[in-house]
Every structure is written in C-alpha cells, then in structure tokens.
Amino acid sequence: MDQEHKTADQGHKTPNYMAIFYWLAGLTVVEVGWATLLHDNRKPLIIGLVLFAGVKALLVALFFMHLKFERKTLGLIVASTLILGVILVSVGLAEHYLPRP
Amino acid sequence: MSSIAVAEHHHAEPPSSTGIPHDKMGMWVFLCSEVMFFTGLIGAYLVLRFSSPSWPDPSKVLNIPLTAFNTFLLICSSVTMVQALASADRGDLRKMKLFLSLTLLFGAGFLSVQVYEYNKLLFHEHFTPSSSLFGSVFFTTTGFHGFHVFCGVVCMAYMTGKAFLGKLTQAHHEGIETLGLYWHFVDLVWIILFTIIYLF
C-alpha cells in the first residue's frame, strides 16, 4: 500500500538544481549573443535559437518539473500533447509554404 | 516522520489508478491544455510572421537587454521554487519559507519589469496592439503570459502566507509541488516566447 502511493519522483536522488540554473542562465546569455552576432544571417540564427530554446525548455521540464523521474504514463500524456502542438503549428505553416492548387 | 504525520500524509493522498497523486495529475492535465493554448498563440505568431511581406525587426522595437534580464529573473524564480520543494521534502521549513518568499519576489519583479516595458512601449514609443500586426500578436501573446505569471504570483502569495502561518509541514506540502509545476511551466513558456518574439 505504502509503495502504491509513492510517485516515481519520490526516492530519486535530488538533481543538482544550481548546475541546471547555471546552464539556463549561460544559455540565455549565449542565445542573446547569438541573436546579436548572426542578426542578418537568418538560417543559422533560427537553427541556433531553436536549439538553445529547446535545450533550455528540456532542462526545465526534465529537472525542475521532475519529468525525468516521473512515471511513463505522465511522459506519454505530455508527449501526446506536444505531438498535437507540433501538428497544429506544422499545418499552419504548411498552408503558407506548400503550393496551392 | 511521526506515525501521526505518516497517517495524515496517507489520508491526504487517496489511492490513484495511475500511481500519481490526483492533485499532481490534475495539474499536469491542466498544463497539457495550456500547452495547446500557447501553441495556438505561438503558431498564429509564426504563421503571421512568415506570411507577412514585411515584419519589423524586434530588436529595433523591443528592449532586448531588459527582457533578457527579465528572463533571468524568471529562471531565478524557477530555481528558488524547486529549492523550496526540496527544503520542504527535507523538513527544513525555514529554508522552505525563504525560498517561497524569494520566488514570490522574483515573480513580482518579472511582472514589474513587464509593466515598465508595456508602459514604455504604449505611452512613450506609441507601439500599441493596433499599430501593426506585430503589435497585435506581441501584446496578445506576452499579455496572456503575463496574466499567467500574475495568477502564479497570487497563488504564490497564498502559499507563502500558508507557510508562514505554519500550515505547511514536511508531511503536508503537496501544494508546493503542484504550484511549482505551474510555475515552471510559465517559465518554460517564457523561454520559448523570448526566443521567438524577441530574438527571431
């Protein structure tokens, strides 16, 4: 019974939150620098920014929101939402980029 | 943890078929709906931006260093929030109160900077929601995010008050985790918005 009520995040080793914080702060500085330096170079600018923002979002979700230590059920629920979100944005953008009949 | 505290703790968490406490599961389901909400806003921004023949350079209209500082404030608030939960788990209630107060302070700081930014844009630079398509999507998206931060700050004030009144203990602090999930989500959304709206 006791075990049943335990969530997956209970009992995991506490992550080094300060290290995550330094990464997030550092990446923000790099991101602003990247945007300033590559201001007129759109392709590498966008690829870099998406990469940095993705890593930062992943760090927050995995370590601060404890998704890394949660049950798979929760991961599946979140993943399915994200997939729907990607489809929504892709369809919106596809309407603009794909040739119209 | 005493036997009474353990019994109280179990009373607070009825069995769930998923193995995830109901309050936490409820918050995650709510956050999933919020993901779709912000995806709609971000999607609209991207579609409008890429289909517009001309789009203003955000760095010429918006104050990037100020907003980068604001992003830093929100990241700080996330780390203090997670430290508040870790302190409560350890039973260090003094640190829990300190970290909750700091989170509240950082959240209020973020809102203050946003109000300052809006005031400058609206009344000094005459960049309004009706001045351009960029203005419309900028104020809609950041405004909704700001409203979420405001709601978070109100809840944080309530939670901090509860902590100082001694209503949060090592056995009973589920609210911190649930509120923390919401708070980190708001931070996560800002990380994306800052990149897409301010730096693209």
Q: What is the pLDDT of residue A6?
A: 41
Q: Is B67 on the interface with A (CB under 8 A)?
A: no
How large is the average pLDDT for residues A7-17? 67
On the question of pLDDT at A5 being above 60, the answer is no
A vs B, Cβ pairs < 8 A, gives: 129
Give the separation between CA B151 and CA B143, rounded to whole angstroms: 12
The domain that holds B67 is classified in CATH as: 1.20.120.80
* Ramachandran angles phi, psi of A41, nearest 5°: -105, 85
For the cut 60, the answer to whether the pLDDT of residue A10 exceeds it is: no
B40's tokens: 């709609």
pLDDT at B200: 82
Residue B5 confidence class, pLDDT cut points 50, 70, 90: very low
Which residues on chain B are in Cβ contact (under 8 Å) with A14? Answer: 86
pLDDT by residue (tens digit) across A35-82?
989 888 888 898 999 999 999 999 999 999 999 998 888 999 999 999
Residue B66 in contact with partner chain A when CB distance is under 8 A:
no
| pLDDT tens-digit map of B101-158 | 999 999 999 999 999 999 999 999 999 999 999 999 999 999 999 999 999 999 999 9
The answer to whether B188 contacts A4, with C-beta atoms less than 8 Å apart, is: no
Q: Give the per-residue pLDDT at B13.
A: 57
pLDDT at position B76 is 96
Is A94 at the interface with chain B, CB within 8 A? no
Instruction: ipTM value, please give it.
Output: 0.86
In percent, the amount of chain B with pLDDT more than 90 equals: 78
What per-residue confidence (pLDDT) applies to A3? 36
The pTM score is: 0.88
* Residue A97 confidence (pLDDT): 75
The pLDDT assigned to B42 comes to 94
Structural domains counted in chain B: 1
- pLDDT level of residue B79 (50, 70, 90 thresholds): very high
Contact B19 A85 (CB under 8 A): no
Q: In the prediction, which pLDDT does B3 show?
A: 42
Query: Would you call A89 and B43 a contact, using CB atoms and an 8 Å cutoff?
Result: yes
What was the pLDDT predicted at B103?
97
pLDDT band at A15 (very low <50, low <70, confident <90, very high): confident
Domain interval for residue B71: 3-199
Average pLDDT over every residue of B12-21: 72
pLDDT in tens, B22-37: 999 999 999 999 999 9
